[in-house]
Structure formats: C-alpha cells, structure tokens
Amino acid sequence: MTTVTVHYAKTHLSKLIAAAERGEEVVIARGDKPAVRLTPLEPTLPAPPARRFGALREEGGFDESFFDPLPEEELRLWEGRED
C-alpha cells in the first residue's frame, strides 16, 4: 500500500492514478491521517450494436389463413363476452 500526503498527490497525481489502475492501493493522507483511497473504476460495457431496420424481415411469417375470421369462442374472449 502506498500512502502519500495531499501535497505529494497534487504534484504526482498522474503517477498515482497509473499506480491505482495497475491495482496498487494508493491512500492520500492529510498529515498522518488517511483521508481517501484511489481505486480504478469498473470498465464500462460497450455500446450495444446499432439496430438495423428490417433485420428480422426473413424471420417468421404468416400464410393466407392469417386473414380468416376467428373461431366464435376465441372471438368472444377477445370481445370480453361470456355468452
């Protein structure tokens, strides 16, 4: 563990950040009292790929029976009737 003073940290901040990114524990102290610890951030996730219009165009489909009327029982359910 590396412990440095605030004054040292101000003049060597880049070096201390690099050490923290390498996994070293870096503590900045005010006098003899530890005040803060430098830790690297978790890597962020890459952006999702851009959506492509029509990417699923060839997936699935329907035939002419799609346009047939619904059976009476199913039609009642859709309409909320309980005849």
Residue 61 lies inside a defined structural domain of this protein: no
Residue 50 lies inside a defined structural domain of this protein: no
Residue 20 lies inside a defined structural domain of this protein: yes
pLDDT in tens, 24-75: 999 999 999 999 999 988 877 788 888 888 888 888 888 888 899 989 988 8
Provide the domain count of the chain: 1
Residue 13 lies inside a defined structural domain of this protein: yes
Residue 62 lies inside a defined structural domain of this protein: no
Residue 28 lies inside a defined structural domain of this protein: yes
pLDDT at 83 over 70: no
In the chain, DSSP finds a helix count (H) and a strand count (E) of: 3, 3
Residue 17 lies inside a defined structural domain of this protein: yes
Q: Is 17 exposed, middle or buried (0-12, 13-18, 19+ CB in 10 A)?
A: middle
CATH of the domain at 15: 3.40.1620
76 vs 6: CA distance, rounded Å? 76
Q: Which domain holds residue 13?
A: 2-38
Give the pLDDT score at 24. 92
pLDDT at 1 over 70: yes
The SS3 of residue 32 is coil
Residue 73 lies inside a defined structural domain of this protein: no
The closest alpha carbon to 35, from 10, 3, 11, belongs to 3
Scanning the structure block, which residue is given the tokens 């959506």?
A: 51
Instruction: Supply 74's token pair.
Output: 């199913």
Amino acid identity, position 76: R
